[in-house]
Amino acid sequence: MNVAILRRCLIALPALALLLGVAVKAAAVGAADYNAREARYRLDQAILGGKAMDEVTWEHMRALLETSLAADPGNATFNEDLANLHFLRAAGTRGNAQQSRTHYEIALRQYLRASYLRPTSAYTHASIATVKLRLGQFDPDFSAALLLASKYGPWEPLVQEQVMAAGFRAWGALQEPVREAVRGNLRRAHELNAKRLGQFLAAQKTAFPGCAQLQVSIPEACPSR
């Protein structure tokens, strides 16, 4: 091999190494996405389809998502999926308050990470509010989550219901701007689907703040106004 060829090979080596690194990273991210898709499918079955997830399946989904996050830690969806998985476990825990709290705290950490990576996701902010409600954390971050969920998902029914459910239960701890955001969701939910709102409110009777505080003119909420 002559000197010119050797020089060209030496020059090409860093580029080849860089390309190899990119290919390895792409393969890892692809595998992470593939694993996360299975976990997301199982989560959808459990949360939306009402199919219980046994402990073995839950542990397998956790391992898949943690492996995916190790390969692609900046993926907001992976973080939120892991949060949803821990929320599911916390909500399903019976008779072990500490275990339930631990899973809620992990879920909150992952939701916060997801909101940092994807700050305009109304669903993520609504989930943060819901978890902080379960943890009894009625702090400025709780109020901020209600406001941001209302801002970014004003016409999303599931966001509206999460904001209302959390806002009703924490009504006494909310400042007026946050209360008005909750009222706004109530008004929009009525405009969007009055029948669905009526069904939702029927399930919220024990948490309903009362018409004098809500100050709304909506038959499904305050028929006397």
- pLDDT greater at residue 208 or residue 81: 81
In single-letter form, the type of residue at position 107 comes to A
Per-residue pLDDT at 4: 65
Q: What angle do CA 219, 210, 149 make, to 5 degrees?
A: 80
Poorest-pLDDT segment among 1-5, 114-118, 136-140, 186-190 = 1-5
Q: What angle do CA 160, 177, 190 make, to 5 degrees?
A: 30
- Which letter, b or e, does each residue of 203-219 get, where b requires 16 or more Cβ atoms within 10 Å of its Cβ? eeeeebbeeeebebebe
Dihedral class, residue 166 (left if φ above 0, else alpha if ψ from -120 to 50, else beta)? alpha
Q: CA-to-CA distance for 187 and 210, rounded, in angstroms?
A: 15
Q: Where are the domains of the chain?
A: 20-118, 122-209
C-alpha torsion 200→205→207→213, nearest 10: 100
Mean pLDDT of 79-101: 91
Average pLDDT of the chain is 86
Per-residue pLDDT at 6: 60
Q: Which of 75, 90, 95 is nearest to 35 (CA)?
A: 75
Per-residue pLDDT at 27: 44
For residue 205, give both structure tokens.
Answer: 């009777």
Q: 31 near 70, Cβ under 8 Å? A: no
Q: CA-to-CA distance for 76 and 124, rounded, in angstroms?
A: 10
Per-residue pLDDT at 179: 96
Per-residue pLDDT at 155: 97
Mean pLDDT of 102-125: 97
Mean pLDDT of 96-121: 96
Per-residue pLDDT at 222: 80
Residue 5 has pLDDT above 70, yes or no: no
Q: 130 near 123, Cβ under 8 Å? A: no
For the segment 151-197, what is each residue's pLDDT rounded down to a tens digit? 999 999 999 999 999 999 999 999 999 999 999 999 999 999 999 99
Per-residue pLDDT at 214: 84
For residue 134, give both structure tokens.
Answer: 């379960």
Residue 24 has pLDDT above 60, yes or no: no
Per-residue pLDDT at 42: 83
Q: CA-to-CA distance for 62 and 83, rounded, in angstroms?
A: 10
Q: 66 near 82, Cβ under 8 Å? A: yes
> How much of the chain exceeds pLDDT 90, in percent?
61
Instruction: Tell me the whole-structure pTM to 2 decimals.
Output: 0.83
- Give the ranges where 138-220 is alpha helix by DSSP (H): 140-152, 157-169, 176-192, 194-202, 211-214
Per-residue pLDDT at 26: 43
pLDDT band of residue 210 (cuts 50, 70, 90) is confident
